[in-house]
Structure 1
Amino acid sequence: MKAVAPGTVIFHRHRGYGVITHVNLLTGWISARFGNEARTLDLNLSSDEVQHADGEPILFRRAPPDRMPHARLMAVVRELHSAGYQKLYLYSWPKPSGLHWRWHLFTGQRNWMQRSWREGWYGSGAEYNNNPVMGWGDTPGATTEELIHALAKFDPQGLAQALGRDEDHTAWFAATCEALLPGYMYSLNVERPPGGGLIDAPPVPVVAVRAGLPAYTGPEIGWPPGWAGLWTRSHVMPARRINLTGEPELR
C-alpha cells in the first residue's frame, strides 16, 4: 500500500480531491481538507471508501501500514551492519502505558543499560502513528536505502561512531531479522512477574508491528550479546546527578 501521511492527496466520491492533514495509524482515522473548505473532515480509511489521487483504493483494514517503525529500523540496522557499521544497536521497549513503543538507536560502546543518548536517534510509536517518519528528513514509505541515506545526511558524525566490528552482535541481529521481519519486532523489556522475581534469561518478547497479524509462533529469540547477568535488577537508565553548588565537577 502507498504511504498515507499528512500531505497525501486523496479522492473521496462525495467531496472530490483533498489533502490529508492528520493521520492516525493506530485507529485508521484521518483528517482531510477538501477544496476551499475551512474545516477538515474526519474519515475512516476502512469504511469511507477513500482513494489515492490515482484511483487506487486505500484498504486500511486489509493491508494496514506498520503501526510502529521498529521493523523498518531493524532493516536499516541490518543493512548498515553489512556495510561495516557493526557498532550500531537498536533498543526497543514499551511505554509504561503499554499503548506505544519506544525505540533507541545508539552507537559506539555496546552497553545496553548505560547507552549514550544522541538527539534524533530515539523516538516513540506515538509520534510515528501520527506522522510515519523517523525525523531525519525522510518521507513516509521510504525504502531501507532511502532511510539509510536520510540518517547519514541527518547526522554523519553520529553514524561514523558506528564504524567497527562487533561480529557476535551482528550475527545475533541478522538471525533475529531473518526470523521476525517484516511483520514482527523484538522487545528488550523484562517484566517482573507479580509477586515474584525476574526469570533468568526468558525468551525475548516479540510483538507484531501491524494490525491483523497473528501472534508470533516462530523460533524463540535469544537475548543479544552483553545481556548476561542483567535480569537481576531493574532496567532503567541511571538518573543524572544534580549539582546544586554551581561548581564544575571533576571527573
Structure 2
Amino acid sequence: MSKSFMAGEALYRAFRGQGRVLVDVQALEHSILSGEAGSALYRLMSESADYNTDGKAIALYQRALAGWVLQGGSGGEEAAVVAPLPISLQPPTDSALRRAGRLLAMVHELHKAGYQRLRISAGMSPTGMHWRCHITSADNVQLDGWDLVQWGEEVVTYSSADDHYFGWQDSAGKSARQLAQLFIERFPELARKGVGQDRAYAGWFVSMLGNAENGRFPVFFADYLLSPTEEEMPPPPCGYRHAWSAVDGRVANADLRLEHLPPPEARWDELEVFCLTYDGYAGGQKSISQCMAQAAQVASSRLAEASLDDLRTTLFIRQRDIRNNHPIPPSDDDLRLMHAIVEQIRSRLSRG
C-alpha cells in the first residue's frame, strides 16, 4: 500500500474520530491554489492505480481522498476544530423519532437520579426498518460496552415499531421524567442493579444524546457492516477497553505469546477480544471477500496445514461476520471451529 494512501487514510481516521469538524474554506482554497493538496492527491491516485477495486478498496480510497481534502481545509494543522452541535429547539416531526429520543432522554433522567449503571444496547432490526434499544445493568454488559451477557428479566426492550414503551398502555404523552419514574416503579430489580456512579458512561451518554437530538441515533448492531469510531462507542464496564477498538491491542504474529490466548473452551466475549488482536484486512490490502475465502479454505482443510496468518485471519473475519450478521452468542459450530483454531495456535506456540 502506498505511503500517500496510508497517510491520507490516517488523516481521515483522525478527523472521523472527532465526529464533526470545521473546515476553513479559505485554507482549502489556498491549499488548492498552492498545489499542496493537489500534489498529495496526484500521488495518491498514481500510486493507487493498480490497487484492487472491490467495494472495500473503493471505500478505503475514498477515505484516503477525504483525509487529504480535509487536511487542506484545516490550515495544515494536525486536527481541525471540533464543531459544536446545533441546539435542538424542536422535537422531530416523525413520531417514531420522537419516541426514540424520549426513551434515551428517560435513561438520561435515570442517570441524573443516580442510576448510572443502567446501559443501553441499541441497533437496527434485521429488516433495517426499526430501531431497537435494550436497557440493562452494567454487570450484564460485555467488554465492548454494549453487548449483552444474557437475556431475560435483566433486559427490557423498546422498538420504534411499538406505539407504547415496554407495552405500557398508559405511557402515551408521558415526559422523559415521568417515564423514568414509571421505569423505577415497574422494573424495580433492574433499577436496583442500575444504582451507582459511572461518570465515564454517563458523560458518553450526554454526548450521544446530543447526537440523537440532531438525528444521529446510536447503532451498535445491524445486519450490515458497521464501522464505529472510538467516540461513538460506549466505554466498557470494569475498566476494560472495548473489543471494537482493539487497534492499540493488536499483536503481530512475531510477538504472539501464550499469554495472549484465551483459555481453552473460552466464552464468546473472551474469544472476541483475541480475534480482534489481528487485522485480517492487513491494513486494507485484503478485501472482505478475500478474507472470507481464506477462512473457508481453513475450515475445509486440516488446521495443521494452515499458516498462522490463515488461522488468525479466520478468527478475525468470523468475528466480523458473526458480530454483524448472526445472533450472539454464535452457533456451536462456529465456537467449535474457533476453539480448535485457538488450540492449534496454542500448540504451535508451546512448541516454540
Q: Tell me the TM-score range normalised by the shorter chain.
A: 0.5 to 0.7
Question: How high is the TM-score relative to the length of structure 1?
Answer: 0.52
3-state SS of 2:217 partner: strand
* 2-structure distance, mates of 1:78, 1:102: 17
Q: Secondary structure at the match of 1:66?
A: helix
- Say if 2:122 and 2:219, in contact at 8 Å, map to a contact too: yes
One-letter amino acid matched to 1:74 = L
Asked if residue 75 in structure 1 is aligned to residue 105 in structure 2, the reply is yes
How big is each residue's C-alpha offset from its partner over 1:97-137, in whole Å with a ceiling of 9 and x where there is no partner? Answer: 111122100014142334333447113222x1xx3333245
Q: Give the structure with the higher percent helix.
A: 2
Q: Secondary structure at the match of 2:191?
A: helix
1:157-183 deviation digits (Å, cap 9, x = unpaired) = 221110012111111111211232264
The correspondence for 1:125, drawn from 160, 176, 185, is 160
Aligned to 2:232: 222
Aligned to 1:98: 128
| Displacement over 4 Å in runs of 4+ | 190-193
Distance, in Å, in 2 between the alignment partners of 1:142 and 1:99 is 25
Cα offset, 1:68, TM superposition: 6.8
Cα offsets for 1:6-26 (capped at 9, x unmatched): xxxxxxxxxxxxxxxxxxxxx
Q: 1:33 corresponds to which residue?
A: none
Q: Is the 8 A contact 2:126 2:223 kept in 1?
A: no
The reply on whether 1:116 has 2:161 as its aligned counterpart is no
Equivalences for residues 72-221 of structure 1 within 5 A: 72-109=102-139, 110-111=141-142, 112-119=146-153, 121-126=156-161, 128=162, 131-136=163-168, 138-181=170-213, 183-189=215-221, 193=225, 199=227, 202-203=228-229
Which amino acid letter does the alignment assign opposite residue 243 of structure 2? G
Question: Is the contact between residue 75 and residue 177 of structure 1 (CA under 8 Å) also seen in structure 2?
Answer: yes
**Deviation sequence 1:32-69 (CA, Å, 0-9, x none):** xxxxxxxxxxxxxxxxxxxxxxxxxxxxxx94423574
Aligned equivalent of 1:237: 328
1:31 equivalent in structure 2: none
Structure 1: runs of 5 or more not aligned: 1-61, 205-220, 242-251
For residues 94 and 124 of structure 2, the distance between their equivalents in structure 1, rounded to whole angstroms, comes to 21
Report the Cα offset of residue 153 of structure 1: 1.7
Cα 1:105–1:173 change in 2 (3 A) is same
Partner SS for 1:146? helix
| 3-state SS of 2:120 partner | strand
- Counterpart CA distance in 2 for 1:139 and 1:76 is 12
Partners of 1:165 and 1:95 lie apart in 2 by 31
Aligned letter for 1:87? R
3-state SS of 2:158 partner: strand
CA separation of 1:170 and 1:63: change in aligned 2, threshold 3 A: closer
Deviations 1:179-217 (A, max 9, x none): 322644211126665xxxx75xx348xxxxxxxxxxxxx
Aligned sequence identity (%): 25
CA RMSD of aligned residues (A): 3.0
| DSSP-derived class of the 2:121 partner | strand
TM-score, length-normalised on structure 2?
0.39
Q: How many residues align?
A: 155
The separation in 2 between residues aligned to 1:240 and 1:68, in whole angstroms, is 37
Which residue type is aligned with residue 232 of structure 2?
G
Query: Structure 1 residues 102, 189: CA separation in 2 closer, same or farther (over 3 Å shift)?
Result: same
3-state DSSP of counterpart to 2:202: helix
Where does the alignment leave 5 or more consecutive residues of structure 2 unmatched?
Answer: 1-91, 246-275, 277-318, 333-352
Q: Which has the larger radius of gyration?
A: 2
